Structure 1
């Protein structure tokens, strides 16, 4: 798993645990695109996993 992927997973974990109440704040904290975070929460997989 890459460092970016780790950050995405941390953001998802924090959102699900209630540490963050908005995707925007979680994305900003971990410096990842909000659209990527939203896509992952909607169920899409990492691009590398698809190849």
Structure 2
């Protein structure tokens, strides 16, 4: 894994944690969560994070 891939993975995981917290606090609907998660995957193209459901 290159430094750039590692940074993208870390950035993705941090953003995912943020939206998971928003979802847990009922500040995002399930549909909004899935939409944002999809956008994060497109933006960061995570290698490891994309493997988890």
Shorter-chain-normalised TM-score: which range? 0.3 to 0.5
Larger Rg: 2
How high is the TM-score relative to the length of structure 2?
0.46
TM-score, normalised to structure 1's length? 0.47
